[in-house]
């Protein structure tokens, strides 16, 4: 790291470290608000006593002594209310302000108490502060260690110390951000209110740490590469974790799922499977119908769309651009708009409760045609087609033997998209199918929520897992073609 960049890094990191010693939040003195509930309760007593007094006066059935006694009671309650209002006014005029708090070096003020009512209502609060204080000191230690490692690395362009410093720095940023966010989430019991964060202190801590981290990463090649790996790993985990949670929830009971998220599988898989069986969830029927529709429509869609794109690319005829513009216009029309017309058309053709109603129309896939044509523009050389024609190869044979192998990566990509779209399609089969023997897996999963007495979330997650499993298999089977398509191209002229 160059000397100038190192100085900038150390300056901004020092700002972040010093910011941890500045007041980062204030717990306001809400003594006046703490009496609001008592005042409201006392006001209710006054109103009740006054209403009773007026009722006795209007009825005329009570003696003067009873009425006078009730008047004394009303006055007594009113005096208590006036005393509470006076105390509230006095507390409002107090200039105590509240309690200031800095992340370092001390703990939260001893006057603060956690509102256990809020803790019991929501399990998300952390009222044991040992972990919280540990995170603060860990963040401070990571920042100090990051600065020390950069200084020890000297002016070398490449050093493992830079990489270790970047990792510690990143961990410190996350811990500092967690500490500040958690501070504002603590439910503080009256007379003090919840923490009000100071914008300047927060900017000094997080802003200084983030700016210095960016300066470090931009100035050191191996640190930058390591952070890219970290970022890619984080994105991968972000994509995988939802699927893993879905699979784990398929092995847990409904009560366990409602209690919170877990990454450890449970022991209720067999029970959830039995629930599916009792609710009429026939996995074999759902798999058969979904597979026939998804793979049948995908084969037709991919093949004929590739053929259409080939025609737009190779044959220059009148109306070529106009027809391609029509295809582009069709892409912009949402499928929901044409849903009613599509159903009426299928009804007139007597194709309701027929799988072909979802397979044959897939031949016309405008978005797939657009994708294939763009792919052919970049990868197909017309010299290949012309050479095949000179050798006496027919048009269909040229397309099937020469063009299709070039389009394999594009076909694999759109095949995956088509399978996913058709497999997860719920609305169109719901409109066309009334026969229970033709239900697809998404239709069956949706029916699991139909029980008005109790929802078995474990069985629903098991159904979702069974629905997603074939899609995962299809992706892993064809993903290598997508990767190979990055380097694949036609013959260069």
* Under 8 Å between Cβ of 179 and 135: yes
pLDDT digits (tens, 9 = 90+) for 423-433: 988 888 988 98
The burial class, CB within 10 Å (0-12 / 13-18 / 19+), for 110 is exposed
Pairwise CA distance, residues 146 & 170, whole Å? 9
pLDDT digits (tens, 9 = 90+) for 332-369: 888 778 888 888 988 898 888 899 999 998 888 888 99
pLDDT surpasses 90 at 415 = no
* Under 8 Å between Cβ of 245 and 263: yes
Q: Token digits for 306?
A: 């590739």
Mean pLDDT, the chain, integer: 84
Contacts of 131 (CB under 8 A, 6+ apart): none
pLDDT digits (tens, 9 = 90+) for 194-230: 888 999 999 999 999 999 999 998 888 888 888 888 8
- Of 23-27, 123-127, 201-205, 248-252, which range is least confident? 123-127
pLDDT in the model for residue 35: 64
- Of 11-20, 66-75, 283-292, 475-484, which range is least confident? 475-484
Q: What is the mean pLDDT of residues 258-273?
A: 86
pLDDT surpasses 60 at 490 = no
pLDDT digits (tens, 9 = 90+) for 363-394: 888 889 998 998 888 888 888 888 988 888 88
pLDDT surpasses 70 at 486 = no
* Under 8 Å between Cβ of 195 and 27: yes
* Under 8 Å between Cβ of 56 and 67: yes
**Domain spans in the chain, listed from the N-terminal domain onward:** 3-21+103-237, 33-100, 280-484
pLDDT surpasses 50 at 491 = no
* Under 8 Å between Cβ of 215 and 8: yes
pLDDT in the model for residue 92: 55
Residues in a beta bridge with 100: 26
pTM value > 0.85? no
pLDDT digits (tens, 9 = 90+) for 49-62: 888 888 888 777 77
Q: What is the dihedral of CA 335, 336, 340, 343, to 10 degrees?
A: 50
> In the structure, what pLDDT confidence band is assigned to residue 30 with cuts at 50, 70 and 90?
low
pLDDT surpasses 80 at 239 = yes
Residue 162: closest CA among 145, 178, 149, 143:
149
pLDDT in the model for residue 128: 66
E strand or H helix that includes residue 443: helix 441-447
Percent of the chain with pLDDT over 70: 89
Sheet holding 98-102, edge to edge: 98-102, 23-29, 192-197
Q: What is the mean pLDDT of residues 91-111?
A: 72
Structurally, at CATH architecture level, domain 280-484 sits in: Orthogonal Bundle (1.10)
Choose between 127 and 293: higher pLDDT: 293
Supply the Cα-derived Rg of the chain in whole angstroms.
35
Quote the strand ranges of 168-318, DSSP E: 192-197
- Of 22-31, 90-99, 411-420, which range is least confident? 90-99
Compute the residue count for the chain.
493
Q: Give, in degrees to the nearest 5, the angle at Cα 242 between 179 and 478.
A: 135
> In the structure, what pLDDT confidence band is assigned to residue 137 with cuts at 50, 70 and 90?
very high
> In the structure, what pLDDT confidence band is assigned to residue 176 with cuts at 50, 70 and 90?
very high
pLDDT digits (tens, 9 = 90+) for 422-469: 998 888 898 898 888 888 888 888 877 655 556 788 888 888 888 888
pLDDT surpasses 80 at 261 = yes
The number of CA neighbours under 13 Å toward the Cβ of 113 is 6
pLDDT surpasses 90 at 169 = yes
Taking the mean position of all CA atoms in its chain, how far away is CA 342? 34
């Amino acid at each position: 790291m160059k000397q100038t960049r190192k100085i900038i890094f150390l300056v901004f990191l020092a700002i972040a470290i010093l910011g941890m010693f500045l007041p980062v939040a204030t717990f306001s003195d809400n003594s006046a608000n703490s009496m609001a509930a008592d005042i409201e309760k006392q006001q209710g007593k006054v109103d009740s006593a006054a209403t009773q007094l007026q009722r006795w006066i209007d009825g005329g059935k009570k003696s003067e002594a009873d009425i006078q006694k009730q008047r004394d009671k009303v006055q007594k309650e009113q005096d208590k209310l006036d005393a509470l209002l006076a105390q509230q006014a006095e507390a409002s005029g107090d200039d105590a302000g509240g309690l200031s708090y800095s992340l370092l070096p001390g703990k939260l003020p001893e006057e603060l108490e956690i509102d256990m009512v809020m803790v019991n209502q929501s399990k998300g609060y952390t009222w044991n502060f040992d972990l919280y204080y540990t995170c603060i000191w860990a963040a401070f230690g990571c920042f100090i260690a990051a600065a020390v490692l950069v200084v020890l690395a000297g002016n070398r362009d490449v050093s493992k110390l830079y990489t270790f410093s970047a990792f510690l720095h990143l961990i410190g940023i996350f811990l500092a951000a967690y500490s500040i966010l958690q501070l504002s989430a603590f439910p503080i019991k009256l007379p003090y209110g919840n923490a009000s964060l100071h914008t300047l202190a927060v900017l000094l801590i997080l802003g200084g740490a983030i700016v210095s981290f960016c300066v470090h990463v931009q100035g050191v090649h191996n640190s930058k590469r390591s952070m890219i790996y970290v970022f890619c790993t984080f994105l991968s985990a972000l994509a995988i974790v939802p699927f893993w949670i879905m699979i784990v929830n398929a092995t847990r009971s409904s009560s366990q799922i409602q209690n919170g998220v877990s990454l450890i599988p449970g022991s209720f898989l067999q029970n959830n499977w039995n629930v599916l069986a009792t609710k009429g969830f026939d996995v074999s029927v759902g798999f058969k119908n979904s597979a026939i529709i998804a793979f049948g429509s995908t084969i037709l869609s991919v093949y004929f769309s590739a053929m259409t794109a080939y025609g737009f690319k190779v044959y220059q005829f009148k109306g070529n651009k106009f027809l391609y513009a029509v295809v582009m216009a069709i892409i912009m029309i949402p499928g929901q708009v044409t849903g009613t017309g599509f159903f009426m058309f299928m009804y007139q053709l007597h194709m309701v409760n027929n799988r072909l109603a979802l397979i044959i129309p897939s031949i016309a896939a405008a978005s797939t045609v657009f994708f294939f044509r763009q792919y052919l523009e970049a990868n197909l050389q017309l010299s290949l087609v012309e050479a095949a024609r000179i050798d006496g190869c027919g048009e269909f044979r040229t397309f099937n033997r020469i063009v299709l192998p070039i389009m394999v990566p594009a076909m694999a990509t759109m095949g995956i998209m088509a399978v996913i779209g058709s497999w997860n399609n719920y609305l169109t089969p719901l409109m066309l199918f009334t026969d229970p023997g033709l239900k697809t897996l998404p239709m069956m999963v949706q029916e699991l929520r139909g029980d008005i007495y109790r929802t078995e979330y474990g069985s629903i997650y098991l159904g979702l897992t069974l629905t997603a499993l074939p899609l995962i298999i299809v992706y892993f089977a064809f993903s290598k073609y997508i990767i190979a398509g990055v380097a694949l191209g036609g013959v260069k002229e």
